[in-house]
Amino acid sequence: MLTENLNNNQATILEIVRMSTEDGPGIRTTVFLKGCTLNCSWCHNPESISIKPQVCWVGSRCIGCKTCIEVCKENALTLTEAGMWIDRSRCTGCGDCAAECPGTAMELMGKIWQIDNLVDEVNKDRAYFETSGGGITISGGEPAMQAGFAGAFLKSLREKGLHTALDTCGHCSRDALNQTLHYAAMVLFDLKLIDPKTHKKFTGHDNKRILDNLLYVADYIRSHVYPNALWIRTPMIPGATAVFENIAGIGQFVAKNLSDVVDRWELCAFNNLCRDKYLRLDQKWAFHHTELLTKEDMDVLTEEAKSSGVNPEIVFPTGSTRLQPEEMKQEIGDGL
């Protein structure tokens, strides 16, 4: 069941990332909201899945003073030989431990922001939006989990003349989508897997609602002034989404239903930079030992996408790939 929070005035924000070149046109500021409606097994932001603020412990910064244990009213912390054990069934995410920790070893992931403060914060970046053709992207998690806030935030930005983008996984109610869509100048829509059973296996849900919402977004674009652009993004996950049949199937769906509205289809290479995040959250990650794709892997997948029936000019591979031995030698040589 979807549990969307329709409060307009405040939201739990995971992170504000400045100078992003990956979340839409130009240089952007991306606001990541906490809370997601999917649970992708490869998720690169596991700290974004829960809508609640969460704490984690960074052992290398801890000086062992136990201040955090003293201030925790829920008795959720125990310092063991293996490190700080956080009893997550007790922790309320109040953040007292993080506020008092002298070593900044306790980190609070997620902070409540009031809408006016957040608008003022991102408006500070107006200079680089204007010189680069960029703007603000609202992402997650899934922004529709806090749809009332997301819509009001995008509306305020539009009223200030700023370019806005909505980054969505599409797994949300039509009501939540409608609250945000009208105020987004463009939509970045994740389309991960075309087969419903495989989608359910890797994300916890089939893709019926997602495909229905994608068709709805396309119709909305055809009949409204805004949004006026649609990018499809497919994460390239080895053994899951980076599979020929999946790429061909997504391409055929886009070619058949969306060719008049999709401006760009991004194939986003898998990365494993989130390994430590899983460890800090005491979670196992199914892709912990999965290597990056090579450039050759991405080239072959890109060719598959380009020959799937879409306009080949809209297909763009993005992200880092694994260096091959010859390239590593070259890099080491260049560094000497």
Contact residues for ligand SF4, defined by CB under 6 A: 55, 57, 62-68, 71-72, 74, 76-77, 84, 86, 91-97, 101-103, 105-106
101 vs 193, beta carbon nearer ligand SF4: 101
* Torsion angles phi and psi, residue 14, rounded to 5: -80, -45
70 vs 120, beta carbon nearer ligand SF4: 70
Compute the least distance from the CB of residue 330 to ligand SF4, in Å.
42
The C-alpha angle 285, 209, 260, rounded to 5 degrees, equals 105
Compute the least distance from the CB of residue 70 to ligand SF4, in Å.
8
- Tokens 């769906």 belong to residue: 253
Burial (Cβ within 10 Å: 0-12, 13-18, ≥19) of residue 74: middle
Compute the least distance from the CB of residue 51 to ligand SF4, in Å.
15
76 vs 166, beta carbon nearer ligand SF4: 76
270-280 burial, b at 16+ Cβ within 10 Å, e below that, comes to bbeebeebbeb
Residue by residue, DSSP assigns 162-193 as: --EEEEE-S-S-HHHHHHHHTT-SEEEEE---
| Stretch (H or E) spanning 20 | strand 10-20
- Tokens 């087969």 belong to residue: 195
Residue by residue, DSSP assigns 138-151 as: EESS-GGGGHHHHH
67 vs 290, beta carbon nearer ligand SF4: 67
49 vs 76, beta carbon nearer ligand SF4: 76
Compute the least distance from the CB of residue 112 to ligand SF4, in Å.
13
Query: 187: closest CA among 139, 247, 123?
Result: 139
Compute the least distance from the CB of residue 50 to ligand SF4, in Å.
13
Compute the least distance from the CB of residue 111 to ligand SF4, in Å.
12
The C-alpha angle 158, 33, 287, rounded to 5 degrees, equals 135
3 vs 80, beta carbon nearer ligand SF4: 80
Strand residue runs (E) in 49-130 = 54-57, 77-80, 83-86, 106-109, 111-114
19 vs 63, beta carbon nearer ligand SF4: 63
Compute the least distance from the CB of residue 38 to ligand SF4, in Å.
26
